[in-house]
Structures are given as C-alpha cells and as structure tokens.
A and B are shown apart, each in its own frame.
Chain A
Amino acid sequence: MIKFNLNPDEQIVLIVRKHWIAIIGQVVVFFVAAVAPLIAFLVISIFMPNFSTWWVGNIIYLCTFLYAVWLMIFWLAFFFAWTTYHLDIWVVTTHRIFIVEQKGMFYRDISSLTLDKIQDLTIDIDGFLPTMLKFGDILVETAGEHQYFKFSNARHPEAMKVAINNVQKTFYSRPQPVAPVTASL
C-alpha cells in the first residue's frame, strides 16, 4: 500500500476519488465491444435460415476459442483503465494535500501542497448530471511554482471544500513555531 511521508502530528483527513462517471464511457465501450460478437451471432442465427449448416466440423469450438481471446483483450483493457482511474486521488491531511495523478499505467505524478500555500479553492459543479450525481471539478490556486491544481470529476466536491476549509482553520489556529531571535551586540 502507498505510504506518504507524514509528519508525526499529521493525519489523513480525507481521500478524494474521481466519480464513476469518469470511467463509465470506457466501460461502455469495452462492454459493447466484448458482447458485439455474441449479438452478431444471435442476429445472424435469427435472420439466416440455413445458419446451422455453416457449422462444419468443430468450427463452433474454434469460434468459442476466438471469442475467449477477444474477451480477454477487453477484460485486461478494463482492469488497466480501472487501475488508472482508481489510483488517481487527492489525499487531504491536517497539514497538506497530496495530489496523486495517475495519467497512465506507467505515468504517475505526485505533488504535495501545504495548506498555507492555498490561495483559493474553487469547485465547479456544472450541469444536470454533475448536480444530481454530486460530482464536479476542484481547482486549487497556489502561491507556489505550480500555480494551480485541478481534479476533474471529483466525488462530492462540496464536502471536499468544507473539509479543506476546516483543516485550514485548524492549521492556522495551531501554535506556530517561533523562530529563535538572536541578538548581536
């Protein structure tokens, strides 16, 4: 399991994932492609009267074999897509936000953003589906080198905003370490 280098007094508050809507398009494409040969088989068997005479010898087993290979392609493609989707997360701790972007199977980008660097936090829930299914985009503007971070199709962005605001309040209200003052004569 992934381990973040947390400070001793740091705790994970919230893990934000993408909504399932972010992967549903791929899932539908894989599913349709996977069942297309079966549907074609059914349609041909219904509309071709001499369909049963086509199956000479053991050709049905060859077709089953080829269909199994076809299924395996989409089975693997689905799990690769799901893994990329599942590992794309934001982790909010009491001190910072870890932004884990899984852009591909072998392309992973991890940034960490301390809460005092956050200048603005915007959520964008635009449209009927995002409103009803409770997902949207989260945009964090920072004072750092990387000017903003965006998390598209996040689950429950409003809850995320509330959580970040709360941890920010706690973060700023804790006693700040005082820098030692040295006086030189």
Chain B
Amino acid sequence: MNSFNLPAILEKLHSFISAPILFALIGLLCIVFALASWVLVFHWNKYAIDKSDILAAQLIYFLGGLLIIFIAMISAILY
C-alpha cells in the first residue's frame, strides 16, 4: 500500500529542483509581481478617490511584495 511519505517527497524535490530552476522561478515571480503591480497601480491612480488610502495601500503592497521576493531570493542563493 502506498502511504504518504513526506521525507521521501522532500528528498525527491531536493534531487529534482536545482538552483538554476529556482532562479528561473524567481524571474517568473518578479514578472508576475511587476504585471500585477502595473494593473493595481493603474486602477489606484485612475479610479481611486482618496489619495491617503491609496498611498498607504501602495506602501504596504510594495513593502510586503518586495520582502517576499527578497526572502525567495535569499532562499535560492542559500539553496
């Protein structure tokens, strides 16, 4: 009977995914983030009615997003 074996899955992942794959994924992540940011900023600048809310949202969005990309990048470098 096949049972769920997390260590085996982790080991398989480790042997399958190499560092260049991670860097390619980071590139993809950056592209997706840039496209999503473009769409969001377009909507915020064109359709929002109050500047202060949008400025706060932009600040939180970009800080959080860049922090996530930074974590992904550090992980890929250390991998």
Is B11 a contact of A1 with CB atoms below 8 Å? no
The CA of A58 and the CA of B47, in the complex, are separated in Å by 46
Q: Is the interface of B mostly helix, strand, loop or mixed?
A: helix
Interface size grouping (class) on chain A? 20 to 34
How many chain-B residues does the 8 Å CB contact rule pick out? Answer: 37
**B59 / chain A contacts, CB cutoff of 8 Å:** none
Main DSSP-derived SS at the A contact region: helix
**Contact partners of B75 in chain A: CB under 8 A:** 61-62, 64-65, 68
Chain B residues with CB under 8 Å of chain A are 6-7, 10-11, 13-14, 17, 22, 25, 29, 32-33, 36, 39-40, 43-51, 53, 57, 61, 64-65, 68-69, 71-72, 75-76, 78-79
25 A-B contacts (beta carbon < 8 Å)? A1-B45, A1-B46, A1-B48, A2-B46, A15-B49, A53-B7, A54-B7, A56-B11, A58-B14, A58-B79, A61-B78, A62-B13, A62-B14, A62-B17, A63-B10, A65-B22, A75-B61, A76-B32, A79-B40, A80-B40, A86-B53, A86-B57, A87-B43, A105-B43, A108-B47
A interface residue numbers (CB < 8 A to B): 1-2, 15, 44, 53-59, 61-65, 68-69, 71-72, 75-76, 79-80, 82-83, 86-87, 89, 91, 100, 102, 105, 108
